[in-house]
Chains A and B, each alone.
Chain A
Amino acid sequence: MSTDGTGFIELDGVEKVFDVRRKAGLLRREKHQVRAVDGISFRVPRGEMVGYIGPNGAGKSTTIKMLTGILTPSGGRLRVAGIDPSRERTRLAQRIGVVFGQRTTLWWDLPLIDSYRLMHRMYRVPDARFRVNLERCVELLDLAELLDVPVRQLSLGQRMRGDIAAALLHDPEVLYLDEPTIGLDVISKAKVREFLRDLNAERGTTVLLTTHDLTDIEQLCKRVMVIDHGRLLYDGGLAGLHEVGESERTLVVDLERELPPIEVPGARAVRVEGPRQWLAFPAAESAAPLVARIAAEYPLVDLSVREPDIEAVIAKMYADRSAV
C-alpha cells in the first residue's frame, strides 16, 4: 500500500531540479542546474493545518506544484491521499482544492456564478451537495452581492474570497493555499483566516498554507515548516521555532537618568536612548535574576520584557544558515 496511515500528505526525499539556460554570448547558452527542492521529507496527517514558510525562491511554490501534480518531481516519493500526483493528476484534482494568491482559477471575463456553475459540472458535484456548499461559502465569505459581477471587476480581496469558495465547492479533503492573504487589507485578511479556521475545525479539511505574513501562521497553524534553498530547515511547533532560531528576548529598562550602557553578565545592551536602554538576553533564560541584578546596581524606574517576534527569528535562521 502506498499509505501507511500516518500521513495524508507524504514526501520522502522529494527533489525538483530545473535546467536553466542562460545567454552567454550571442548564440551560446550556458546550461546549469537549479535544485529548487532538494530532498524534502515530511508527513501531514489528515485534518492538520500546517504553515509552509520561506523566503522568495525557497521552493515553496515548487513544492505545492508537485503536490498538485502540475510539476513532475525529479526524484523522491510523493503521495497525497495515497495518490501519486504527477501520475494521476486528474484523479487527484477531485480531492484537492488549490488557491493561488497571485493568480485566479476563476474565468476572468465571466460573472463569478458562471465559474461556480462550470466547476459544479467539471467536478461532477452532486446538485444537492453543490447547493449546500455554495450557500455556505456565499454566506461565510460574503459573496452574495458579487455573484453576478465579472471576476475582472472584483477587488483583490473579493476575488480571493471568490477563489477560496471555488476551491471548496467539490468538498476537497485537502486545501493548498499559496499566499492566500497577499495584498489583502486587514479586514479581508481576518475574514479569510476566520473562514479557514472554521473550515479546518468543522470539516476536518487538511490545510497546507504558504505565506509571507507570519500572522497567518500564528493565528492558524500549530505546526510550521521552514524551507530555504530547497531544504527543510525546521519542522515543528511554533514555540519551538524560537529555540531553534536561538532567539533573544529584550528587556527594556528605564533608568533615572542617562547612563553608559548597562554591563551585566548574560545580557548585552543593544540600544541606548537617553535614560532608556534595551538589553538582549537568550529567550530560554529566565528574566528574574537579570532584573534583580540590574535593580541592585542601577537606579531603576521601570522595566518591561518583549518577546521575540517570529519574523526576526526566521530572519536569524536564514542568516545563520547562509553564514555556514
Chain B
Amino acid sequence: MAEEAITEASVEASGEASVEASVEARAEGVPAAEAWIPRVSRRAALRDGLRAYGLIVGMWMRSTMAYRASFVMTAFGNFAATAFDFVAILLMFAHVDALGGYSLPEVAFLYGTSATAFGLSDLALGSMDRLGRRVRDGTLDTLLLRPVPVLAQVAADRFALRRLGRIAQGLLVLGYALLTVDIDWTVTRALMLPMMVLSGAAIFSAVFVAGAAFQFWAQDASEVQNSFTYGGTTLLQYPPTLFAKDLVRGVTFVVPLAFVNWIPALYVLGREDPLGLPDLAAFLPPLVAVVCCALAGVAWRAGLRAYRSTGS
C-alpha cells in the first residue's frame, strides 16, 4: 500500500509542478531576437518535477527509516488521532439509528472514501502549508537556486511517512463499510470506488497547491488552507443531508469538494442527490480533478511569479 500511495501521490504532485518551468520561461515579454532560446517543454518539466519529488521523498524516507521505532510510533499516533473522528461517529450511532437518514455502514462508506482520498493527498502534499513560513523567513530563495521545479521541492519537503497512519485508518473504515453496507453492486459501481478515491485525492491535492499559492500573497493564510483541506475532509465524512443546502451548494460549485465522495457515493449507494443533480454528475470527478489541478497550477505559477517580482 505504501508503495502504491507514494507513486500515485508523486504523479499528482508533479502534475502541477510540470507547468511551472514552461510558464516561467515566458513570464516576461520575450524579445523576438532572443526567441531562439530553447524552452523547457512541459513534458520535460513534468519529468524533472517528478524525479526531483522522488529524490527528495526518497531521502526523507531513508531518514525516517533510520529510526524505525520512532516511525512506527508516530505513524500509530497519526492513525489513532485521526481514528478518533470515527470513534465520535460510532458514539453518535450508539444513541441514534440514522444520521441525516444514513445508516452507520453508509456513513462509514462516506467516511472511508473521504479519509482515504484525503490521506493520499495529505501524504503527498501535506507539507505545503509551510510555504508561508518559507516566504516569510526567506528560505524559499534557496529552493529557487536549484535546477528543479520549486513546487516539487516544496511538496516533498519534510515528507512525513507517518501520514500513512491516516490512510490506513481510512482504508480500515472503508473496508468495514464495504463488508456491512447494502449496495446493489454493478461493474460501474465497483469501478466507481477506485475512481472516486483517486479523483478525490487529486481534488484535495489541488486545494493544497492552491492554498499554498495563496500564501505567496498572504503568508499567514495556512489556516485558510487547512479549513478547506482538514476541514473539508471532516465535512465529507458526514452525509450531505445533515448540512444546509447553501453549504452543499458551496462545496459542489465553488470549492468542488462534493465530487471527492458525496456525489459519486450517492450514486454507489443508490440515493438521491440533495441538490437534484443528474446521475451523470457521479461520473464527473476525474474531469473535476483535472480542472482543479489545472487551476491550482495556474494559481501556483501566478504566486511564484508575484514572489519573484516582489521578493517578499
Contacts and interface: CB of A to CB of B under 8 A. Distances in A.
A91 interface: yes
Given A93-B145, A93-B146, A103-B142, A88 B37 contact: yes
B40 interface: yes
B311 A62 contact: yes
A71 interface: yes
Contacts of B309: 71-72, 74
B141 A86 contact: no
Interface residues of A, number: 35
A70 B141 contact: yes
B24 interface: yes
Contacts of A2: 34
Nearest to A115: B59
A18 B148 contact: no
A121 B311 contact: no
B133 to A, nearest CB: 13
B52 A69 contact: no
A22 to B, nearest CB: 13
A86 B311 contact: no
Contacts of B148: 90, 122
Given A110-B59, A122-B52, A100 B144 contact: no
A90 B52 CA distance: 13
Given A18-B311, A62-B311, A87-B30, A103 B138 contact: yes
Main secondary structure on chain B at its contact with chain A?
A: helix
Contacts of B305: 72
A84 interface: yes
B190 to A, nearest CB: 41
A121 B34 CA distance: 31
B55 A90 contact: no
A46 B30 CA distance: 27
A100 B147 contact: no
A122 B144 contact: no
Given A72-B309, A118-B55, A122-B148, A86 B63 contact: no
B21 interface: yes
Contact of B142 (A96, A100, A109, A122): A100
A89 B142 contact: no
A65 B141 contact: yes
12 contacts: A62-B311, A70-B311, A88-B37, A90-B21, A93-B147, A94-B147, A96-B145, A103-B138, A109-B158, A110-B63, A114-B59, A122-B148
Interface of A: 2, 18-19, 62, 65, 68-72, 74, 84, 86-91, 93-94, 96, 98, 100, 103-105, 107, 109-110, 114, 117-118, 121-123
Complex A-B, nearest 4 residue pairs according to Cβ-Cβ distance, in ascending order? A93-B147, A105-B142, A70-B144, A90-B147
